[in-house]
Structure 1
Amino acid sequence: MSEDGARRTRPALRVGGALFWVGGLALLLASIAVAITFGPADIEVSDVWAVVADRAGWGHSRLSPIREGIVWELRLPRTLLAAVCGAGLGVCGAVLQSLLRNPLADPFVLGVSSGASTGAVLVVILGVGGGLVSLSAGAFLGALCAFGLVLVLGYASGGTTDRVLLAGVAAMQLFSALTSFVVISSADAEQTRGVLFWLLGSLANASWADVWLCAAVLAVVLVVCGAKATALDAFAFGEEAAASLGVSVGRTRLLLLAATALLTATLVSTSGAIGFVGLVLPHAARAIVGTGHRRLLPATALAGAVFLVWIDTVARTVLDPQELPVGVMTSLIGVPAFVVILYRGRRLR
């Protein structure tokens, strides 16, 4: 292509990129607004906007207090938390797949989810903390303990990506076994049912505090990972290539592993274990925007947010009044989607 042609192409690419991001954000906002209308109560999209405008001081909602409470206290925080969890799990998956150079890596490969599960059952079933520690706090502390064990095992055995990955698998199996042992040996039928539902992923108890906490941690991790986007691009070619490009391999890997573990622990502590979002969505985003992490990370966040908003909507309405765990729905949809992605990748080789 000539130099003049390249100059004419750049503005078109910028306009196309801007339209893509504006369209993605508009799709996310529309998805949130429409998803809130699903349920037994008769809520319209205009009602959602009216309640939001009223709370923001831009207008006055004419809805009854009951319907306004349904929107503001129940459905809106749950839908927003679904969007934040989907975005966070997707971003963690994209980072780990590049950092560990493993297309099957997901946010739970570091054993964080299993550690969170163990922490939750210790609080709920054994009463660890004497009533001063909530289920979410127990899950968060368990997740951090699991990540600490992975770091100790991984770096004690050499600190390479394959060693960290193997340490994560070992920690995942260890904490899964501990969780099963506690449930089988100490829980009654009602406790077992409640813990199992949480372990499979649930956003039923979402609150505004959960939304703000998860959103704040997601924002910090996005900034950290975005600042290391060039290093992540280099990691895709291997540690030696990254080091030759001036990347501090050990320090960068530890920082990004800690960031993704912190975000995963925060999300799991509020929503339970929701699988396949961090595994499938990064692959789908790469097919759309390519492998460059400056575009991949926000694209994966948008895709994950929209995806989990609709998955949660289906999970809470498809068998109304009974609710399905969100993790069950993500697995039912994620497995076929991942098979398609694997098949398309095979055809493109």
Structure 2
Amino acid sequence: MHSGDAWERPGRLAAVLVLVLVVLAFVVALATAIGDFHIDLGTVVLAVTNRLGLTSANVNALQESVVWDLRLSRALVAALAGAGLALCGAILQALLRNPLAEPFVLGVSAGASTGAVCVIVLGIGAGGLSLSMGAFAGAFAAFGLVAALSNGATSGPNHTILAGVATAQLFNALTSYIVTTSGNAQQARDVMFWLLGSFGGVRWPDFYLLLGVVLAGLLVCLMMARALDAFTFGDEDAASLGVPVGRIRLILFAVTALVTATIVSMVGAIGFVGLVVPHAARYVVGPMHLRLLPACAAVGAVFMVLADIASRVVAEQQTVPIGVVTALVGVPFFALILYRSRPQS
């Protein structure tokens, strides 16, 4: 029996999702409470309900401002970033039929980073919209290069991953060149930290934009869940089942690029979330994408908020880049997948 067979009934899947959402609410509250200026969980809850107009409790004005204006938006953006990256990982693994596929490994994050850095350092455009569009253009450029290097459907099972590694190295080199030749010392330090991932500068406008992008991406992917199931058997089998392979693939690649680019433009390149979370979710709810995609989004949100908490508590008096934390989890998991997929003698 597949590990996800026990969760075939919709009621059980709903119970799992409700449980994960309760855990998510708790870790978001915990992330909001933790910081140089500690605030207890009860005060966090009252500060949020006060701002929502649900209560009128007597809460210190400074504490309420820290909770609402700084920390809660950060925790919610972290949750949405984790959900979006996990969703992109699940889509790419299905489209490419490769368990190692995810935006970071395929160079999509690196391409989005290069596009965003062109806006930040070279001053191409101005404002958050231009930053997102620069990241989006870079992500699509990376997708195009990976497709060209892997020769589409004729590539071997690991050819696309190798093309992604080469693409990531190219765009990382371009990013480093732009920063070292065009940016000043302060810009270089800021960009390098941002490229490793940071939720430090996000606020409510970022949350609203990311909420719309991730929800729209999730809805589009859920509408195409049956097609994603067919893709796992190969393009020819999907076409024989009546799936318009070319159109669906283009739409889903566009969704992946949009979600990835939006996240990278806000918080930097964060790797391995799209690799680890889909496999963990697949183990619990099975491979059917109508169940897998919501599970990936929920588990990815919890994972990223926990990683953000770890980034703030692992080193005293400083914040570790979030990409370092996710890599410490993702690299061993990546090695485990490689080990399990090796040819048997």
Same fold judged by TM-score > 0.5? yes
Select which of 96, 99, 104 maps to 1:100. 96
Residue 210 of structure 1, aligned match among 197, 206, 227? 206
| 1:82 aligns to 2:83 (yes or no) | no
Residue of structure 1 in register with 2:108 after alignment: 112
Amino acid at match of 1:238: G
Aligned residues: 338
Residues 146/92 of structure 1: CA separation in 2 closer, same or farther (3 Å cut): closer
> Is 2:257 aligned against 1:264?
no
Q: 1:31 Cα deviation (Å)?
A: 1.3
For residue 255 of structure 1, the aligned residue among 251, 267, 279 is 251
Aligned to 2:316: 320
Instruction: Select the residue among 302, 305, 316 that pairs with 1:309.
Output: 305
Q: How far did residue 119 of structure 1 move?
A: 2.6
Give the one of 280, 285, 305 matched to 2:281: 285
Aligned match of 1:5 = none
Q: Report the Cα distance in structure 2 between the residues aligned to 1:152 and 1:59, rounded to whole angstroms.
A: 53
Residue type matched to 1:177 in 2? A
Question: Does the 8 Å contact 1:24/1:302 carry over to 2?
Answer: yes
Does 1:123 find its partner at 2:116? no
Which residue is equivalent to 2:186?
190
| 59-68 vs 85-94, greater mean Cα deviation | 59-68
Distance 2:223 2:132 in 1: 29
TM-superposed CA distance for 1:288, in Å, is: 0.9
Cα deviation, residue 337, structure 1 = 3.4
With over 3 angstroms needed to count, the CA separation of the structure-2 counterparts of 1:314 and 1:305, relative to structure 1, is: same
Q: 1:155 to 1:120 in 2, by over 3 A?
A: closer
Could you tell me how far apart the structure 1 residues matched to 2:6 and 2:96 are?
33
Residue-by-residue CA offset, 1:235-257 (whole Å, 9 max, x unaligned) = 00000110011100000000000
Q: Find the residue that maps to 1:125 and give its secondary structure.
A: helix
Matched, 1:21 2:17: yes
User: Which whole-Å CA distance do the structure 2 matches of 1:63 and 1:290 have between them?
Assistant: 45
Identity of aligned residues (%): 50
Distance 1:180 1:136, change over 3 A: farther
CA deviation vs aligned residue, 1:31-52 (integer Å, no higher than 9, x gap): 1112211122231222122122
Shift of the alpha carbon at 1:108? Answer: 3.1
Look up the match of 2:143.
150
- Pick aligned residue for 1:295 from 291, 296, 300: 291
Give the direction of change, closer, same or farther, for the CA distance of 1:222–1:55 in structure 2 (3 Å limit): same
Whether the aligned pair in 2 keeps the contact of 1:116 and 1:140 (CA below 8 Å) is: no
- TM-fit CA distance, 1:146: 4.0
**Inter-partner Cα distance in structure 1 for 2:71 and 2:288:** 35
Q: Which deviates the most, 303-312 or 18-27?
A: 18-27
Q: Deviations over 1:1-20 (max 9, x none)?
A: xxxxxxxx999944433321
Residues 92 and 278, structure 1, Cα contact 8 Å, conserved in 2 = yes
Give CA deviations for 1:202-234 in whole Å, capped at 9, x if unaligned: 100010011111111000000000011111111
Larger RCO (CA within 8 A; separation ≥ 6): 2
Q: Which range moved further: 220-229 or 162-171?
A: 162-171
CA-atom RMSD, angstroms? Answer: 2.9
Q: Is the 8 A contact 1:317 1:323 kept in 2?
A: yes
Consecutive unaligned residues of structure 1, counting only runs of 5 or more, are: 1-8
| 1:137 equivalenced with 2:130 (yes/no) | yes
| Length-normalised TM-score, structure 2 | 0.88
Q: Which residue of 2 aligns with 1:60?
A: 56
8 Å contact kept, 2:115–2:137: no
Where does structure 2 lack aligned partners over 5 or more consecutive residues?
A: none
Aligned CA distance change for structure 1 residues 345 and 155 (closer, same or farther; 3 Å): closer
DSSP 3-state at the match of 1:160? helix
